[in-house]
């Protein structure tokens, strides 16, 4: 990601932050619409889940300019997801639901440059998480 892309992601996320609860509802509704099978993996009450997702996204977005600082937490998150039943092929689906949500939430502020910047951001994060969780043999712990 270029520094300009980091700025675009941070500025656009700041616009969604005031409606983060709504954005999270939109996100999971969309996810369960395009991937109905994953719904059963989540708790019935999504209240806490929505908060955790938005808090984690905020932390990632804040850390984009200093990627090294967020990698340990992203690695741990990826590894926890193995036990949630997440597989590598789910990541692009989650990415599609996320980008769709941002597009809806941002309206006119969802420009082609913002879309490209978010695609790069999610690609970087999910690529790293996939490789941490599934990309190499796990050491016995």
Least distance to ligand HEM from the beta carbon of 139, Å?
A: 20
The set of long-range contacts for 108-113, using a CB threshold of 8 Å and a minimum separation of 24, is 109/12, 109/15, 110/12, 113/8
For ligand HEM, the closer CB: 71 or 77: 77
CA atoms within 13 A on the CB side of 123: 8
DSSP H or E run through 56: helix 47-63
Structure tokens at 137: 């043999």
Count of residues near ligand HEM by CB under 6 A: 18
Does 126 interact with ligand HEM (rule: CB under 6 A)? Answer: yes
Interacting residue with ligand HEM among 10, 15, 22, 42 (CB under 6 A):
42
> Taking CB under 6 A as the rule, which mask of x and - marks residues 68-107 in contact with ligand HEM?
---------x--xx--x-x---xx--x-------------
Binding residues vs ligand HEM (CB under 6 A): 38, 41-43, 52-53, 56, 77, 80-81, 84, 86, 90-91, 94, 125-126, 129
């Amino acid at each position: 990601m270029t520094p300009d892309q980091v700025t675009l992601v941070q500025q656009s996320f700041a616009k969604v932050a005031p409606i983060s609860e709504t954005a999270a509802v939109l996100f999971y509704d969309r996810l369960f619409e395009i991937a109905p099978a994953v719904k059963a993996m989540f708790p019935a009450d999504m209240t806490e889940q929505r908060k955790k997702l938005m808090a984690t996204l905020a932390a990632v977005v804040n850390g984009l300019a200093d990627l090294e600082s967020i990698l340990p937490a992203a690695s741990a998150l990826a590894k926890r997801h193995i036990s949630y039943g997440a597989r590598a092929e789910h990541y692009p689906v989650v990415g599609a639901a996320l980008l769709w949500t941002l597009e809806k939430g941002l309206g006119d502020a969802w420009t082609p440059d913002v879309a490209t910047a978010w695609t790069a951001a999610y690609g970087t994060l999910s690529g790293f998480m996939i490789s941490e969780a599934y990309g190499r043999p796990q050491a016995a712990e």
